[in-house]
Amino acid sequence: MESGFLTVILVSSFAVFSSHSGITEWDDVVLAREGMPTTLVCTDATVRGAMAINWMVKPLGVDEWKLVLSASEREEFLGRASKASMRLTDPNFKDTGVFSLFFLPKEEDSGLYSCLIKQHERKLSEKIILLAILTVTVVPAAPIPQHSTLRLIASVKPDNAVTKITWG
């Protein structure tokens, strides 16, 4: 008896545009799959001494920022992260200047993320990152019957930030 198998390669490229012509609201875009390890990169090698790092989120369409993680140069976390999986990627951030945020996002975690670095209550730098969450559904579900049609259904959230997706 022969066993059949199906190999599907999905390659995607995408472009993200602001709803304002020519003006972007963010510095970087991260496209992540729901539930997969994701890092939002934030670095500043010039920061030394007393500092505070605040990671905040603002879902698109909402006017207020919400604090998700905060830490100081003394490696004291100034509150719990808003998700159990959420942490800074480098525990030695005060010496390396790597303030990147790691977590396992869900669809509802899409939106704008702010990496705000302060020193003596003065804003040194801020980086805004748009996190878009990719969800791919395979129909029919595994196991896939031989000689059947396979459909891949993909969606990206926030859908109002992504105006063009090309699948190839």
Per DSSP, 129 falls in state E
Q: Which residue has the higher pLDDT, 57 or 94?
A: 57
- Average pLDDT value over all residues in the chain: 79
48 to each of 18, 77, 114, 120, how far by Cα in Å? 34, 18, 20, 11
Instruction: Map residue 134 onto helix, strand or coil.
Output: strand
Q: Residue 77 pLDDT more than 70?
A: no
Quick one: average pLDDT of 13-30?
56
pTM of the model: 0.76
> For the chain, which domains are there?
28-132 (2.60.40.10)
Q: Residue 6 pLDDT more than 90?
A: no
